[in-house]
């Protein structure tokens, strides 16, 4: 941001912005929790699309899901930027976003969608989130100079233990682990861990670029736009334009639902990361691990046993602890 103002106007501006900044700091965690709810809903829709025996093509699924954001936000963002209301990102920030977006789409998102069909969402989501949490905290410490407080470390420990306990007794939602061969299970869990590593990197990049002058709307469109650019040609190569009319109506429904929830969730996370240290933000958004387990119990008929209940309790304690001032 430009700091060319004179001393008195700058001081007055800072005084006016102080209450707003305090309110934003309080509001940030709520945005992160909202993002967790929305992402959980999006993941449930994606899990439907990854059902073994009736799964949609994952490349096509991601193309449609990400296209929704580009089509909804892209024209508005173009209009705002041409009018000078939203500044274009700097070259450095632009390249940082693209560098994080490519592996996010091509490796992490595709890998997670495949894992949903192998080990289920109740296992895939916690594994990914645990690695995401650790990665974001470490990278945030070194690249954002964000201090990780003892309370955050304790909350992080509780959350990691909690989601590990949930994972230890949670069958895949509608896809029991025994359906997949042992090597498929190992590969799927490894892919979830790799996805978590990439998501943690993306979180730090979002935090860095949005606090150095880049609009969150540009982050939103660039990340999803990379998905459109990468998945579109692969879909055409594999299926041609026939896939549009060959896609079942139910698949269209879940792809659109997932895309809309992902759009709103990504916006909430991007705004939340502007107001919340990245380690704390990831603790809050990681509550979707508990949401996934509860959804499996209520929607997909999973048994909520004592072990899973203990994991949920530990996860909720971590969220409350991380929210305390």
Q: What is the pLDDT of residues 272-299, one digit of tens each?
A: 877 777 667 767 777 787 787 777 667 7
- How much is the average pLDDT of 51-68? 88
pLDDT of residue 170: 52
Q: Kindly write down the DSSP assignment for every residue of 40-101, as one continuous string.
A: HHHHHHHHHHT-TTSPPPHHHHHHHHHHHHHHHHHHHHHHHHHTTSSPPPPHHHHHHHHHHH
- 301 Ramachandran zone, left/alpha/beta (phi>0; psi -120 to 50): left
Q: How many CA atoms lie within 13 A of 198 on its CB side?
A: 23
Coil, strand or helix: which one is 171?
A: coil
* Predicted confidence (pLDDT) at residue 194 exceeds the cutoff of 90: yes
- 145 Ramachandran zone, left/alpha/beta (phi>0; psi -120 to 50): left
Q: Kindly write down the DSSP assignment for every residue of 32-56, as one continuous string.
A: HHHHHHHHHHHHHHHHHHT-TTSPP
Which is more confident, 158 or 301? Answer: 158
Return the minimum-mean-pLDDT range out of 170-184, 227-241, 273-287: 170-184
- If pLDDT is split at 50, 70 and 90, which confidence band does 66 have? very high
Q: What percent of the chain has pLDDT over 70?
A: 80
pLDDT of residue 147: 73
- Cα distance between the two ends of the chain: 29
Cβ-contact 86, 80 below 8 angstroms: yes
Question: CA–CA separation, 164 vs 189, rounded Å?
Answer: 12
- How much is the average pLDDT of 167-177? 50
pLDDT of residue 70: 94
Which is more confident, 22 or 31? Answer: 31
* Predicted confidence (pLDDT) at residue 16 exceeds the cutoff of 50: no
The mean pLDDT of the chain is 79
Among candidate residues 280, 312, 34, the one with its CA nearest the CA of residue 133: 280
- If pLDDT is split at 50, 70 and 90, which confidence band does 232 have? very high
* Predicted confidence (pLDDT) at residue 313 exceeds the cutoff of 50: yes
* Predicted confidence (pLDDT) at residue 46 exceeds the cutoff of 70: yes
Handedness of CA 282, 283, 285, 289 (dihedral sign): positive
Which is more confident, 41 or 149? Answer: 41
pLDDT of residue 299: 72
Helices and strands in the chain: count of H runs, count of E runs: 13, 0
Handedness of CA 143, 146, 147, 150 (dihedral sign): negative
Q: How many CA atoms lie within 13 A of 190 on its CB side?
A: 6
Question: CA–CA separation, 1 vs 86, rounded Å?
Answer: 12
Question: Would you call 8 exposed, middle or buried from its count of C-beta atoms within 10 A (0-12, 13-18, 19+)?
Answer: exposed
Question: CA–CA separation, 162 vs 200, rounded Å?
Answer: 19
Predicted confidence (pLDDT) per residue in 103-149, tens digit = 999 999 999 999 888 777 777 787 787 778 777 777 877 777 777 77
Domain residues of the chain, as ranges? 29-323
């Amino acid at each position: 941001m430009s700091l060319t103002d004179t001393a008195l106007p700058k001081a007055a501006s800072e005084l006016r912005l102080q209450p707003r900044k305090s309110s934003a700091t309080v509001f940030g965690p709520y945005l992160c929790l909202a993002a967790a709810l929305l992402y959980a809903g999006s993941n449930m829709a994606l899990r439907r699309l990854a059902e073994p025996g009736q799964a949609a093509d994952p490349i096509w699924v991601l193309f449609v899901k990400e296209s929704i954001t580009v089509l909804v936000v892209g024209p508005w963002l173009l209009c705002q930027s041409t009018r000078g209301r939203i500044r274009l990102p700097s070259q450095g920030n632009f390249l940082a976003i693209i560098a994080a977006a490519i592996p996010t789409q091509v490796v992490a998102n595709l890998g997670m969608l495949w894992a949903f069909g192998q080990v289920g969402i109740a296992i895939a989501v916690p594994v990914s989130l645990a690695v995401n949490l650790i990665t974001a905290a470490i990278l945030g410490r070194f690249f954002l100079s964000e201090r990780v407080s003892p309370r955050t470390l304790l909350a992080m420990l509780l959350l990691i233990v909690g989601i590990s306990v949930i994972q230890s007794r949670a069958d895949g939602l509608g896809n029991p682990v025994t359906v997949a061969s042992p090597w498929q299970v190992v590969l799927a869990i490894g892919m979830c861990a790799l996805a978590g590593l990439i998501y943690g990197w993306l979180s730090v990049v979002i935090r860095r670029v949005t606090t150095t002058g880049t609009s969150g709307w540009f982050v939103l469109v660039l990340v999803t736009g990379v998905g459109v650019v990468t998945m579109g040609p692969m879909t055409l190569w594999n299926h041609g334009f026939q896939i549009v009319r060959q896609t079942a109506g139910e698949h269209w429904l879940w792809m659109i639902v997932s895309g809309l929830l992902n759009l709103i969730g990504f916006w909430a996370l991007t705004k939340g990361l502007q107001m919340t240290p990245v380690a704390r933000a990831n603790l809050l958004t990681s509550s979707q691990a508990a949401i996934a387990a509860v959804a499996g119990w209520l929607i997909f008929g999973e048994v909520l046993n004592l072990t899973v209940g203990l994991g949920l309790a530990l996860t909720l304690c971590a969220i409350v602890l991380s929210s305390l001032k």
